[in-house]
Amino acid sequence: MAAEVIRLNQVCKRYRMGEATVDALVDATFTIEEGEFVAILGPSGSGKSTLMHLLGFLDSPSSGELFFEGRPVAALDETARAHVRAEKIGFVFQAFNLLPRLTVAGNVRLPLTYHRHPPADAAARVADALARVDMTNRAHHRPGELSGGQRQRVAIARALVNSPRILLADEPTGNLDTHTAATILALFKELNRQGGTIVLVTHSAEIAAQFPRQLHVRDGRITDHR
Ligand code: ADP
Ligand code: MG
């Protein structure tokens, strides 16, 4: 059996808005193992982003347990959690979230500058990450000079530059046309084929169908399909 990367046990997330409460996630129990390629599928408002925020420790569960590499995340203090997040989790967002003033290489390098001691091989890591997404020849361009698909490739390179244990992508093809979305999906497939553990959110059943495992989310409740 492959090593476990993330495990959830009866995880719930409840948001309070004044008097009202929203149960955005209810009793989520599942494991993501190394090398898995998992789609999270559900309509808007079903709890997909809530789940991704919990998987990336951007938010904490209201109840239940979350384990990263077998260790309870709740036992880590804020600093330790931020460390694990920065070094072991790669995020890709729908809106790319690149900094417009930095070059492509500068954007990809950014996660490395958050280390206490920036790695000596930073330039080589940036070059390697750009090569993996086929953007080497755009290293000195700025995001404004790139197409949507190219911007998302840069965002993926930025997520890869720390060699994370897991890649979390929240609707990464949501802002792209169908053809470009297919090329970005092919890139994620290739990264998984090379051994990457990937969890990708989509509201497209057509995209989710291309994954060997799908977590369907509806009103905060998850069903596991393999
Ligand atoms: P999805 O990503 O599937 O569209 P979300 O996880 O963003 O769904 O939202 C799930 C539910 O939780 C929705 O009803 C949403 O309105 C609610 N929600 C999400 N974030 C918050 C928040 N910070 N405060 C209050 N309610 C929230
Ligand atoms: Mg969402």
Nearest CA to ligand 1 atom 23: 15
Residue among 6, 36, 33, 41 at smallest CA distance from 224: 41
Distance 121 CA to ligand 2 centre (A): 35
| 50 in contact with ligand 1, CB cutoff 6 A | yes
Looking at the predicted structure, is the pLDDT value of residue 31 above 90? yes
Looking at the predicted structure, is the pLDDT value of residue 1 above 70? no
| 15 in contact with ligand 1, CB cutoff 6 A | yes
| 46 in contact with ligand 1, CB cutoff 6 A | yes
Ligand 2 ion: nearby residues, β-carbon < 5 Å: 48-49
Nearest CA to ligand 1 atom 21: 15
Give residue 218's pLDDT. Answer: 97
Mean pLDDT of 32-37: 98
Mean pLDDT of 168-178: 95
* Cβ contact 99:107 at 8 Å: yes
| 150 in contact with ligand 1, CB cutoff 6 A | no
Largest CA distance in the chain: 54
50: exposed, middle or buried (Cβ count in 10 Å: 0-12, 13-18, 19+): buried
The number of C-alpha atoms within 13 Å of 187 and in the hemisphere containing its C-beta is 27
Task: Specify the amino acid at residue 180.
Answer: T
Mean pLDDT of 132-146: 97
Distance 201 CA to ligand 1 centre (A): 14
Ligand closest to Cα of 24 equals 1
84-126 residue pLDDT tens? 998 999 999 999 999 999 999 999 999 998 766 677 899 999 9
> How does DSSP classify residue 196?
-
Mean pLDDT of 213-221: 98
Nearest CA to ligand 1 atom 26: 15
Ligand closest to Cα of 40 equals 1
Cα(187)–Cα(202) distance, integer angstroms = 16
Ligand closest to Cα of 174 equals 2
Give residue 205's pLDDT. Answer: 94
Neighbours of 102 (CB within 10 A): 14
* Cβ contact 151:159 at 8 Å: no
Quick one: pLDDT band at residue 192, thresholds 50, 70, 90?
A: very high
